[in-house]
Amino acid sequence: MCVSVYICYSLVTSLLVGVVSLKSSYDGGRLGESSGHHVNALEASACSAAWWAGRDVTRLGQQRARGSVEVEGVVHMRRSRRLKIREECRVFHMSDTQIKEVMSRLHNELVRGLGKNTHSKASVKCWLTYIQDLPNGKERGKFLALDLGGTNFRVLIINLGDNHFDMQSKIYAVPNHIMTGTGVALFDHIAECLANFMKEHEVYDERLALGFTFSFPLKQTGLTKGILQRWTKGFSCSGVVNEDVVQALKDAISRRGDLSVSVMGILNDATGTLMSCVHKNPNCRVGIILGTGSNACYVEKTENCELFEENNGKLQMLINTEWGAFGDDGSLDFIRTEFDREVDTHSINRGKQIFEKMIAGMYLGEIVRLALEKLTRMDLLFDGRGSDLLFKRNSFYTKYVSEIESDLPGEFTSCRDVLEELGLAHATEADMAAVRYVCECVSRRAAHLVSAGIATLLNKMNDPVVTVGIDGSVYRFHPHFHTLMCEKIEYLVRPGITFDLMLSEDGSGRGAALVAAVACHQSQQQGA
């Protein structure tokens, strides 16, 4: 009996090690190099599966050696639970056929968003940014940036020279009474902080260009004109919705009468990410935000931008896709789960931002929590004994997912800490392995959906070499997202397209200053 169990365990282990070995050799080329310090995600999953599949087999062999039939029954029950958990998590698995269907539907929405006659009905709006020139390394001088996107905002100054790039910044608070007061009070506060910053950095008397990152829903009608559609993130300043926020900032600066600042452009954080990355890598043509929310911008041919009515001879335009709204028309219903629908039902924007709710940091932890709650109520986890926190909405933070998946296979240091924090100190190692498995399923689906989006953009542009700039906490801190994305994008892009993923450094701030720098450089060229 012991011999047969040992042979069974050896076969399982050999098969899994073979998978890991095969995958490792596949990653020996460009993909492995691009992964950097990230552990290979499939290798980690295989090792995790080996632990989960092999642990009870080993214990069974040890117990059988002592003739324990009772423990054999317990192990059989655990194996049955494991299989049921895997079956419940199958809803997070997407076949290649499904992923390619997602790509096809996204491509159709991109085309509709760009079209003059279809734009109004498209879920992916593809807004024009009116940015047609990218940094080329010839920009010189000092430039300011404002970055407003929450309860804090930043002022930055960058100094571009022949062989250096210097950037300094300071964070300022937006008090609650200003967030909920008048628009005039908000922009007066911003202008005052800008003046204080310029004094501190001894540029108060200089005439400087400024780029403005404004991370709220905008309808942009020019490089320096953006109409606020609605406030989010706790802001409710009166007199700003449906108004031009660039003009509001200019008016506040004028009311002071002591600043010589020219607002040269307004943008969002995805566009800033692309601009920041292209300054370092001229092949960058896509900017992605993958953090609390998600968005993408990319370089499109001007001839495809039907809403752009000028004929200035420039061949390209940065497009702000607002791809978080992909699926708002029901086009993603074929892959949505009961957990996705419940997240949407209890969100503040029900029926909106469907794609974002499947991939972004604001929602991934809650998707995991809902799955864990269901498994617990099915008596498949924690012996059916949950906790108040586990059953409380939004109590399972997305950072927990990253921490749990950072544990080495077979180790549960972070997982144990998270579960104890949630009042689940009674969790067994089998429970912790199952929790990790659920996290992996949700993370992998999110990474593959983002990969499908990026591959769709790469295929649409069809440039032979493209760098994708990415910013955001999910991509930055999840231990396997980078590798999962590299592997899936490489499978999905057309033959002949080479890509790499580049972590952005402060896209929303640096990118805004670079927009101002490029605009100034172009203005100088036209005036020469």
121 secondary structure, DSSP code: G
φ/ψ (deg, to 5) at 476: -70, -35
Residue 477 backbone phi and psi in degrees, to 5:
-110, -20
Q: For residue 31, is pLDDT > 50?
A: no
Whole-structure pTM value: 0.84
The answer to whether residues 504 and 473 touch, using CB atoms and an 8 Å cutoff, is no
> What pLDDT, in 10s, does the model give residues 143-162?
999 999 878 899 999 998 87
Q: Where are the alpha helices (DSSP H) in 291-348?
A: 338-345
- C-alpha triplet 205, 206, 211: angle, nearest 5°: 125
Give the angle 75-77-80 at the CA atoms, nearest 5°.
110
For 79, the token pair is 């194996």
Residue 28 is predicted with a pLDDT of 30
CB 358 within 8 A of CB 445: yes
Lowest model confidence (mean pLDDT) among 48-52, 88-92, 353-357, 493-497: 48-52
Q: Which two tokens stand for residue 254?
A: 């004028």
62, pLDDT greater than 60: no
Q: Report the DSSP pairing between strands 316-320 and 294-301.
A: antiparallel
Range with the lowest mean pLDDT among 156-160, 412-416, 460-464? 156-160
Residues paired with residue 286 on neighbouring β-strands, in sequence order: 298, 468
30 pLDDT tier (thresholds 50, 70, 90): very low
Compute the mean pLDDT over every residue in the chain, rounded to the nearest whole number. 86
Q: 255: which residues sit within 8 A by CB, 6+ positions away?
A: 188, 191
CA–CA gap between residue 374 and residue 376 (Å, rounded): 5
pLDDT at 114 over 50: yes
How confident is the model at residue 283, as a pLDDT?
A: 96
% helix, strand, coil for the chain, step of 5? 50, 15, 30
User: For 403-452, what is the HEC assignment?
Assistant: HHHHCCCCCCHHHHHHHHHCCCCCCCHHHHHHHHHHHHHHHHHHHHHHHH
pLDDT band at 320; cut points 50, 70, 90:
very high
Residues 142 and 206: beta-carbon distance below 8 Å: yes
- Which amino acid, one-letter code, is at 421? E
Instruction: For residue 124, report the phi and psi dihedrals to the nearest 5 degrees.
Output: -105, 100
Helix ranges (H only) for 281-412 are 338-345, 356-359, 361-377, 398-406
Is the pLDDT higher at 110 or at 511?
110
pLDDT recorded at residue 216: 84
> What 3-state DSSP class applies to 469?
strand
Please give the Cα distance from 324 to 292 (Å, whole number): 11
CA angle 457, 461, 464 (to 5 degrees): 110
- For position 9, what pLDDT does the model report? 36
pLDDT of 336 higher than 70: yes
At residue 43, the pLDDT reads 47
Q: How far apart are the first and last CA of the chain?
A: 89
Residue 57 has pLDDT above 70, yes or no: no
Query: Is residue 58 predicted with pLDDT exceeding 50?
Result: no
Catalytically active residues are 233, 269
- The conformation of residue 38, written as its DSSP 8-state character, comes to P
Rounded Cα–Cα distance for residues 422 and 405 (Å): 17
Split at pLDDT 50, 70, 90, the class of 526 is: low
β-bridge pairing 225-228 and 294-301: unpaired
Alpha-carbon Rg for the chain, nearest whole angstrom, is 26
Length in residues, the chain: 528
Is the pLDDT at 518 greater than 80? The verdict is yes
Going by pLDDT thresholds of 50, 70 and 90, the confidence category of residue 201 is very high
Beta strands in 68-207 (DSSP E): 127-128, 141-148, 152-160, 165-173
Is the pLDDT reported for residue 389 higher than 60?
Answer: yes
* H-helix or E-strand spanning residue 262: strand 261-267
Contacts with 12 (C-beta within 8 Å, 6 or more apart), sequence order: 50, 53, 54, 57
Confidence of residue 24 (pLDDT cuts 50, 70, 90): very low
> Cα separation of 249 and 238, whole Å?
15
